[in-house]
Structure 1
Amino acid sequence: MRRLLKKLGFGYLKQIFKIFKNYLDYRKEYKIFKATNGQRFLVEDKDKYPLLNDKSKTTGFDKHYVYHTAWAARKLQEISPKEHIDISSLLYFSTIVSAFIPIRFYDFRPAHIELDNLHCEHADVTALPFEDNSINSLSCMHVVEHIGLGRYGDPIDINGDLKAISELKRVLSRKGSLLFVVPIGLPKIMFNAHRIYSYDQICSYFEEFELMEYALIPDMSNEGLIINATKEQSNLQHYGCGCFWFKKK
């Protein structure tokens, strides 16, 4: 047990203590609420639903997913396509942007969503069902780093990410825009969660494309989205988020 606690660290013990304290507060507040509740709602012990981690001074959020989707939405406003194709990015992005731009969403695990301006289908990013040079506006964000690691039921393939990148490049039309997002930092694989890429790696994979904009969501500071970030800033990251807007020449 001592070895386990040492491995988990002080932060883990602190989190356990916080949850326990919050639970004691919850029990106290429940008794007060139940005793003072009027007749508008039924309050019974069997319906208790404790949520113990939401008391914070500020609203917490995942920097990667809040900022990269905000960045991409702003780029689409600038690009202003008649239609946009998204490959497996966060569903919130497609469902919200489809209020303004028709979206076709494709995923290895298709989403059963019914909204006007949004069409969802199955697709394998390593073998996309599109003709060469056929898509003018395309995004694939926080996706490629997972391909080939088996996490989402896809087959193990050490070069799955490169195959996916090759397909994105193939289907994008000339002068078309690709919004591409991956973790940035020291290159490594965190199996089976994701890969982390360096800035130079991504630029080399798209060397025949024009980089229109690069934005960084840093993990090594409290900064938000850094527009026109440098390679040096990227190299300082452990698990940053790189947002690339590429155009096919």
Structure 2
Amino acid sequence: MGIYVKKAVWLLICKIKGIIYIPIDIVRFLYGLIRLGSKKDKLFPIVGIIPIIGNNRMEAGNIDRHYYLQDIYMAQKVMKNQPSVHYDIGSRVDGFISHLLCNRVPVTMIDIRPLPISIDGLSFIEGDATDLSQFEDSSIESLSTLHAVEHFGLSRYGDKADAFASYKAMKAVQRVIKRGGFLYFSVPISYRNGIIYNSHRVFKPTYILDQFSEMKLISFAYIHDYKVNEFLGDQAVEVIKQNHFNEYDCGMFVFEKK
């Protein structure tokens, strides 16, 4: 529980700091408004006001230490294998999926939530990834699910509470990938399995290997402190078996169906 207590305390401190800065931010906002208004620029007059405060204390760019690095790393893995079409379950459209589309990789995305827009090169299937019943056995050559399976069955995204949802999804994914096909899979990893309700699960990497017993591990990598640590083949398996992991990191697995 240590890392989650620290995160809760950190969020509380951030909220308190934000409240403390509100009077300063309001003064700063009003000063800027008065200064601009006094110039009476005819080409760009003030036609509306939307108060946005606090951005002056933000860093240059908002980079999520897991998703940003994960999406680049896994997109490079997919593009290296050059699939004729790639299927994805629940990964980020504005990250991983967009990387593939920029490199002209056609993508079919599967999600329990609707996608209300149309994007060139992207097909969409609204469905339940815990069974993938619309797909035949051994029918897909390239499939990914990044930072998604850990949320299944926790009622977070409109799905029903199901303690076995992540297990079902992994078995369904393994079923639909054809022999010689590739799976690109990521979840939060830890030295133990567990549920942090209703946010996510964490998985022991050995558990992931056990669920994909019909597949060969090509590579394993994990993200810690904005660094990708990659291991290949037998070395990857050995690192996973040692189980020297932190309480929460991002684990990335590339499998090939035997």
Normalising by the smaller structure, the TM-score range is 0.7 to 0.9
Kindly report which structure 2 residues correspond to 1:86-165, keeping only aligned pairs within 5 A, or say none.
Answer: 86-92=88-94, 93-99=96-102, 100-128=104-132, 129-165=134-170
Cα deviation, 1:148-173, whole Å, max 9, x if unaligned, reads: 11111111111111110110000001
TM-score (norm 1): 0.86
Cα deviation, 1:196-237, whole Å, max 9, x if unaligned, reads: 00111111111221111111012xxx3421111633786331
Q: Indicate the residue corresponding to 2:17 in structure 1.
A: 17
Kindly report which structure 2 residues correspond to 1:187-226, keeping only aligned pairs within 5 A, or say none.
Answer: 187-218=193-224, 222-226=225-229
Q: Indicate the residue corresponding to 1:179 in structure 2.
A: 184
CA distance in 2 between counterparts of 1:54 and 1:136 reads 47
CA distance in 2 between counterparts of 1:24 and 1:87 reads 45
Instruction: Indicate the larger mover: 84-93 or 12-21.
Output: 12-21
Q: Indicate the residue corresponding to 2:52 in structure 1.
A: 50
Q: Indicate the residue corresponding to 2:248 in structure 1.
A: 239
**What is the letter of the counterpart of residue 236 of structure 1?**
F
CA distance in 1 between counterparts of 2:177 and 2:137 reads 7
CA distance in 2 between counterparts of 1:40 and 1:233 reads 66
How far 1:29 moved relative to its partner? 4.7
Cα deviation, 1:41-88, whole Å, max 9, x if unaligned, reads: 3436x6232141452455342111101111111001111111100111
In structure 1, runs of 5+ residues without a counterpart are 1-7
TM-score (norm 2): 0.83
In structure 2, runs of 5+ residues without a counterpart are 1-7
CA distance in 1 between counterparts of 2:56 and 2:77 reads 32
Contact residue 142 and residue 177 of structure 2 kept, 8 A: yes
Equivalences, count: 238
Percent of paired sites with the same residue? 32
Q: Indicate the residue corresponding to 1:170 in structure 2.
A: 175
**What is the letter of the counterpart of residue 144 of structure 1?**
V
How far 1:11 moved relative to its partner? 6.7
CA distance in 1 between counterparts of 2:84 and 2:219 reads 21
Contact residue 89 and residue 140 of structure 1 kept, 8 A: yes
CA distance in 1 between counterparts of 2:91 and 2:136 reads 21
> CA, structure 1 residues 56+181, in 2 after alignment: closer, same or farther (shift >3 Å)?
same
CA distance in 2 between counterparts of 1:155 and 1:233 reads 35
CA distance in 1 between counterparts of 2:85 and 2:63 reads 29
CA distance in 2 between counterparts of 1:162 and 1:81 reads 26
* Structure 1 residue 65 corresponds to structure 2 residue 70: no
